[in-house]
Structure formats: structure tokens, C-alpha cells
Amino acid sequence: MASKVTPISGFQEWLPAQRIAEQYVLDTIREVFELHGFASINTRAVEPVDRLAGQGEDADKEIYGVRRLAAEAGEPTELGLHFDLTVPFSRYVVENAGKLTFPFRRYQIQPAWRGERPQRGRYREFIQADVDIVDTGELPFHYEVELPLVIADVFSRLPVGEYVILVNNRKICEGFYRGLGIEDVVQTLRTIDKLDKIGADGVTKVLGEQGLSAEQIRQCLALAQISSTDTSFADEVRALGVSHPLLDEGLEQLTAIMAVAGELAPGVLRAELKIARGLDYYTGTVYETLLLRQPEYGSICSGGRYDALASDGKRTYPGVGISIGVSRLLGLLIGEEGLTASRETPVAVLVAVNDEAQRTDSMRIATALRTRGINTLVAPKAAKFGKQIQFADRRGIPFVWFPGAGEAGQDQVKDIRSGEQVDADPGSWSPDQQDLRPTLVSPDSVG
């Protein structure tokens, strides 16, 4: 008896044309990462649970434990699927430190898993595309300036529409809170980070329950409301009258980022002092990226500076990284807005088969075209040419090759869109560049 096929929520599966669009996005990301000097690595899917746990308020609840179905009752779950790529990367750095050249620039494009309730833009299994730079002992601040420029380069090549990279420095928040006399800085950061979710009244209530005074709460909210596309945010913070050395350091660093971005990527970055990121390992600059047409969709690219995540007890490897939520982004572009590819197959040419006795001739032509980098398929049946053309048309294949169809017995190729059919030699003919590979077909709303 056949079992019923039941969809599982929280997992993306695309149709062929959509998958080509996804691959186009992934290839573009990879090419830009390599253009900026990052080397690719791949890490295992699982990490020890005790390493994954405790990295943020919700991290422990989201970890998928991995164990054998035949495990004995009470056997502990020691391994978990990684919920991001930063934690496994930090372990990778420590394990391979003697074989890596620092500063080490890596990119990583892999799935991750989170055991949260699937909802719009949030999945149980999702692809992330990360770039990180780590060094030994000290990591120069200028890398924190560089990473958002890498993302700006990626998005300039993709149909994402208008976007903004929000940037803050946790030293500003921590220094400000310490200057106010707040003791539980981490909990305060976590609460302020929920401002968009629960609103100012909700944050006020939670902070009050955490023991903050009315004046401390007022100042925390005043800081969180500061936003600017230039360096003017620093004066606004100082005008609040709070002082602390860590606050001064954070203001100096964020000012430097905004100054460089204003020159090299004008209009892309915005200082937004309410963002802090929920993961506890961030220690400096933090980033979140919003699509301006749908800011409520949430961040599609985020990250930040971390100083103590990678350490072997003797040496620390500070780093800074930023991650594109590929599945989250494509859930909107492909799943909701209809981004797709110009055809459902990478094939540019279908070689017709005159009759089965001559199939080898068609295969020989296909081999010659493939040798020259032209994606080619041989027709599955020696049917009437009309049916073979129909086979190509249904799949979006633009050209059909007819062996020996010319008056002198030469091959011919037909553009089935225009109907033009010309003599062709498999050793020299090539399609136009725009027909060689499928292209993205962007929804009108993105432009």
C-alpha cells in the first residue's frame, strides 16, 4: 500500500526553474566572496551540544539533537545540528590553527538547522552564506569596515531591490548601560533587541521587571531611538549626557565605519543604535540588513564582531563575520515575488535524432558542442521533427539542431523562438551569450 505524501513545513524545495534561480544567486555570492579574497571551507553538520548551547537566549531551545534510533533509553544526546555557521567555524579555526595562514579569510555556503516554529521567512533547514575574517590575538578594526562593503557588492549584482545595512556597535550600548549604572548589561541588550517585536511599552515593562529605574529605562529607549545615515549619531549620543570609556570607543569605531561607507557605498549603511543581535558572542560592530520595500520581513543579512568565541585556552582568535540568509532572502524573492529563470533546464541546444539508426551521429554532434561549453541534450526519441521541437519548447530550450538537414547535407540549427534556421558547424557555432545559460526573470516589483 502506497503511503500518503505529506509536506513538512520549514523546508524549501524548488521547481527546476526556481532551483536555477537559486543557483544563480549562490554562484553570484560565491564569485563576489572570492573576488574579495575569501577562501572556501566546509564544516561538518554536527557539533557537540555543549558547544552549541548557551550562545544566546533562544539557542538552547532551537538545537536539533542527533542520536541513533536504536539508542538506549537514557543515553545522552551529545551531538546537535549547527544552528549557524559561526560556531562551527570558530571550532574549525581552533582545530586547524597550525595549518591556517592568518589573518584567515573564509567563506562558507552551507545549510543550518533550527528547531523553531516555521513561519514567514524562518525555516527549520536553511542555507547561509558567510564571510569571516579571523586573526590571532588581535583583529584590526578596519575589517569591521570592510565586511558591509562586501555585502553591498553582492547585492549590487542581485535583484534584491533597495536595501539598507543597519549597523551598530555593542560597545556603545554596553558602555552606555554601564555609564547608567546598569549591572546586567547582557539582559538589557537582549531586551532592547526586542524593541521592534514588543514595542517601547513592552520593553519598558520588561526592563522594569529586571530592576531598572524609570530614568534608566528612559535613557535606554532614548539611545535606541537614535538613527542616522552619517556620523551625526555620535553627537546625539553624547547629548544624552552619559559617559564611559567603552562608550567612547564604540562611538569612535562606528563613526569610522559610517565615514568610509559614506564614501565607498553611499546610502547603503545606516547607524541604528537599537540593534544588538541576540547571540551573546558578539562584542563589537553588529549588522542587520533590511529590504526597504518590506522592512517587516526582518533581517536578510546579519553578523558582527566576536572576540572570544574561538579560543583554545592559550590563544584567542577574534573575528568578524557577516551572513546572508540565502533561504530567507529567496523565500521572499522566489517564493512570494516570483523570481525565476528563463527556462527550466540549463540546456541551450537539443540535437534532433533523424532515426534511431543515426542516434550516434546526434551524440557525436552533442559531444562536439559540449566540448566547447554549450549545454546540449540529445532528443530522447526519433519522433517527427515537430514533436522534437515541441519537446524543446516545453522546456524552454531555445535551439534545435538538425543533423544533415541542409540541401548539401550540412547540419542546420533552428532558433525555435524566431523560426530562423541556418547552416551550422558543431565545431564553430555558438549561441548568443544571453542564450548560453538561463537568465533570471525578475518580478516587476523588484526592478
| Cβ pair 194, 203 in contact under 8 A | yes
Q: What is the end-to-end Cα distance of the chain in Å, rounded?
A: 49
* Grid cell of 258 as nine digits: 559610517
Instruction: Report the distance separating Cα 413 and Cα 198, nearest Å.
Output: 62
Angle at 138 between CA 136 and CA 140, to 5 degrees: 120
**C-beta separation of 237 from 176 below 8 A:** yes
| Residue set of the binding site for L-histidine | 84-86, 114, 128, 132, 277, 281-282
Residue 200: how many other CB atoms lie within 10 Å: 12
Please state, as a whole number, how many other Cβ atoms lie within 10 Å of the Cβ of residue 210: 16
Cα–Cα distances in angstroms (integers) from residue 82 to residues 64, 96, 116, 133, 391, in the given order:
8, 19, 13, 20, 43
Cell representation of residue 301: 543579512
**What is the torsion angle, in degrees rounded to the nearest 10, for the CA atoms of residue 206, residue 249, residue 306 and residue 142?**
140
Query: Which residues belong to the annotated binding site?
Result: 84-86, 114, 128, 132, 277, 281-282
Contact indicator for 152, 164 with CB cutoff of 8 Å: no
Contact between residue 438 and residue 342 where contact means Cβ atoms under 8 Å apart? yes
Cis amide leading into 48 (omega within 30)? no
Half-sphere exposure of 442 (CA within 13 A, CB side): 10
CA distance linking residue 287 with residue 301, whole number of Å: 8
Is the Cβ–Cβ distance between 332 and 291 less than 8 Å? yes
User: Cell numbers 533581517 correspond to what residue?
Assistant: 299
User: What is the C-alpha separation between 172 and 318, in angstroms, rounded?
Assistant: 19
User: Of 314, 425, 331, 330, which Cα lies nearest the Cα of 372?
Assistant: 425
- φ, ψ at 262 (rounded to 5°): -60, -30
